[in-house]
Amino acid sequence: MTIFAAAVVDTPGDPFTGNPAGALRQDEALLVRDGVIAARGPLAALRAAHPGEPVTRLDGGLLVPGFVDTHVHYPQLRAIGGLGLPLLDWLDRYALPEECKLADRSYARAVAAEFLDGLVAAGTTSALVFGSHFAPAMDELFAAAGQRGLNITSGLVLSDRELPPDLLHSPEAALADSADLILRWHDHGRLRYAVTPRFSLSASDEMLDACAELLGKGVWFTSHINENVAEIATVAGLFPGSRHYLDTYSQHGLVTPRSVFAHNVHPGDAELALLAECGASVAHCPTSNSALGSGLFPLRRHVEHGVRVALGTDVGAGAGLFLPKEALQAYFMQRLLGPAGLALTPVHLLYLATRAGARVLGLDDRVGDFAVGKDFDAVWLRPADGSTLAVNLRHASDTTDALARIFTLASPADVAGVWVRGVKAGSAAYPGPR
């Protein structure tokens, strides 16, 4: 057992439904046994109740729950920074040529390690990962994620039209390859499987039927929706019988409480109502939406309809793997929306980067906050002495103000430690770079 002495901060409440300030919780110490939080409270009380247990002092900064990224593309890790194009041109020019390279298993193995080590370095310990179109590349991702103990939900990306031929499967091959991967990896430790048609633009009705059959195996579902106006018009032309973009999925039974749709920048009210009715969730990816010029996410309309929302980095369209940057960009974009925007507080930002993601991924009974009984997945945000963030933290008036400074100024350089189910990344017990 170890007692962690730190400025422990988490958001067990939902700031979108209650008083934001009331969603925040603070403590002085956590007692961790076998990777699980066994007790929390004042340091003196924990020490008195558990004399002789070692104390790990995390002085300075804040200790927050490991971040939860609900939308990030593993095969695009080496393709960040393709600026200047809208979605469909960006896919053709930057993303898809890179994704073709993952046909080479050793290339995929190297990218998987870089990707997962990048997530951990950014403080992300749970993620819904948009996979590769190649099954061996998925084996590489799952194997490497399992070694590192991360909570990863992912799956083979499926398409049967519109993309480069190397990236296509027939619906029959999609069924067979996905079923194999589900057998090998779903519910394997902290790994889970997600059926992943790229978007209905690149998936025929037959392919979406195959996805529905796979979903019957009790796995997760993810795809893209309503990201870009040209994409939406193309989908409308490809599915003349659909009422709207979400209908292309819902007609196949793919809108469920285990479904996470990325983007949804341009939804109609009927789509928001259907998402809420079905209990499906949305991954908001603000730096990607900014970089591709996709638009300003209508967060208020999602919240008012009762649609669950969390954050995704959407690397490689997004600007890196660091969730606090997404939270800050989400804040900026709500400001830019003027009266239609939702004013986000620092407590909202922490919630969006942690517990909201855990709820969207159905992992909130295990991670996302520091309740007793949950896994100790944690990030210690502690800037180097003399940095502008360190100066600002010294002048923060309270914890909410400290969070504001962190979300505004922090980068992965300020991640001083990451624990994955109680094991410190970079320690002798942890695979990956030291």
- Interacting residues toward ligand GUN by CB under 6 A: 73, 87, 91, 95, 198-199, 224, 227, 288, 314, 317
Q: What are phi and psi of 212, to 5 degrees?
A: -60, -40
Among residues 198 and 366, whose Cβ is nearest to ligand GUN? Answer: 198
Where does this chain touch Zn ion (CB under 5 A) — which range of 49-57, 306-314, 322-330, 406-414? Answer: 306-314
Among residues 38 and 85, whose Cβ is nearest to ligand GUN? Answer: 85
Tell me the torsion sign for CA atoms 14, 369, 9, 415. Answer: negative
Select from Zn ion, ligand GUN, none the partner in contact with residue 198, using the beta carbon and a kind-dependent cut-off of 5 to 8 Å: ligand GUN
Site for Zn ion in 257-286 (CB under 5 A): 262
DSSP assignment string, 19-82: -GGGG-EEEEEEEEETTEEEEEE-HHHHHHHSTT--EEE--SSEEEEPEEEEEEEGGGGGGTT-
Separation CA 76–CA 320 (nearest Å): 11
User: How many residues are present in the chain?
Assistant: 434
Among residues 139 and 227, whose Cβ is nearest to ligand GUN? Answer: 227
In the complex, the smallest distance separating the C-beta of residue 163 from ligand GUN, rounded to whole angstroms, is: 9
CA contacts within 13 A on the Cβ side of 195: 28
Among residues 262 and 321, whose Cβ is nearest to Zn ion? Answer: 262
* 314 part of the interface to Zn ion, by CB under 5 A: yes
Select from ligand GUN, Zn ion, none the partner in contact with residue 220, using the beta carbon and a kind-dependent cut-off of 5 to 8 Å: none
Among 119, 104, 109, 163, which Cα is nearest to 139's? Answer: 109
Select from ligand GUN, Zn ion, none the partner in contact with residue 405, using the beta carbon and a kind-dependent cut-off of 5 to 8 Å: none
Among residues 262 and 330, whose Cβ is nearest to Zn ion? Answer: 262
In the complex, the smallest distance separating the C-beta of residue 198 from ligand GUN, rounded to whole angstroms, is: 5
Would you call the peptide bond into 35 cis, given omega within 30 degrees of 0 as the criterion? no
Task: Please check whether residue 164 is in contact with residue 205, taking contact to mean a CB–CB distance below 8 angstroms.
Answer: no
* 227 part of the interface to Zn ion, by CB under 5 A: no
Separation CA 169–CA 176 (nearest Å): 10
Among residues 31 and 262, whose Cβ is nearest to Zn ion? Answer: 262
Among residues 16 and 90, whose Cβ is nearest to ligand GUN? Answer: 90
Select from ligand GUN, Zn ion, none the partner in contact with residue 95, using the beta carbon and a kind-dependent cut-off of 5 to 8 Å: ligand GUN
Select from Zn ion, ligand GUN, none the partner in contact with residue 227, using the beta carbon and a kind-dependent cut-off of 5 to 8 Å: ligand GUN
Separation CA 308–CA 22 (nearest Å): 19
Among residues 157 and 262, whose Cβ is nearest to Zn ion? Answer: 262
Q: How is residue 354 written in tokens?
A: 């942690």
In the complex, the smallest distance separating the C-beta of residue 289 from Zn ion, rounded to whole angstroms, is: 11
> Alpha helices of 260-354 — where are they, by DSSP H?
269-278, 286-291, 299-305, 323-336, 346-353
Query: Could you say which DSSP state residue 188 is in?
Result: B
Which one-letter amino acid corresponds to residue 173? A
Is residue 375 classed as helix, strand or coil in its secondary structure? strand
In the complex, the smallest distance separating the C-beta of residue 342 from ligand GUN, rounded to whole angstroms, is: 22
In the complex, the smallest distance separating the C-beta of residue 130 from Zn ion, rounded to whole angstroms, is: 6
Burial class of residue 319, CB neighbours in 10 A (0-12, 13-18, 19+): buried
Separation CA 222–CA 280 (nearest Å): 10
Nearest residue to ligand GUN on Cβ basis: 224
In the complex, the smallest distance separating the C-beta of residue 238 from ligand GUN, rounded to whole angstroms, is: 14
Separation CA 136–CA 305 (nearest Å): 40
In the complex, the smallest distance separating the C-beta of residue 19 from ligand GUN, rounded to whole angstroms, is: 34
Among residues 280 and 402, whose Cβ is nearest to ligand GUN? Answer: 280
- Count the neighbouring beta carbons within 10 Å of the beta carbon of residue 54: 8
In the complex, the smallest distance separating the C-beta of residue 232 from ligand GUN, rounded to whole angstroms, is: 11
In the complex, the smallest distance separating the C-beta of residue 98 from ligand GUN, rounded to whole angstroms, is: 10
Where does this chain touch Zn ion (CB under 5 A) — which range of 8-16, 76-84, 308-316, 397-405? Answer: 308-316
Select from ligand GUN, Zn ion, none the partner in contact with residue 169, using the beta carbon and a kind-dependent cut-off of 5 to 8 Å: none
Separation CA 368–CA 66 (nearest Å): 7
Select from Zn ion, ligand GUN, none the partner in contact with residue 87, using the beta carbon and a kind-dependent cut-off of 5 to 8 Å: ligand GUN
> Alpha helices of 345-387 — where are they, by DSSP H?
346-353, 355-360
Select from Zn ion, ligand GUN, none the partner in contact with residue 377, using the beta carbon and a kind-dependent cut-off of 5 to 8 Å: none
Residue written as tokens 């909201």?
A: 356
In the complex, the smallest distance separating the C-beta of residue 162 from Zn ion, rounded to whole angstroms, is: 16
Among residues 86 and 412, whose Cβ is nearest to ligand GUN? Answer: 86
Contact footprint for Zn ion (CB under 5 A): 262, 314
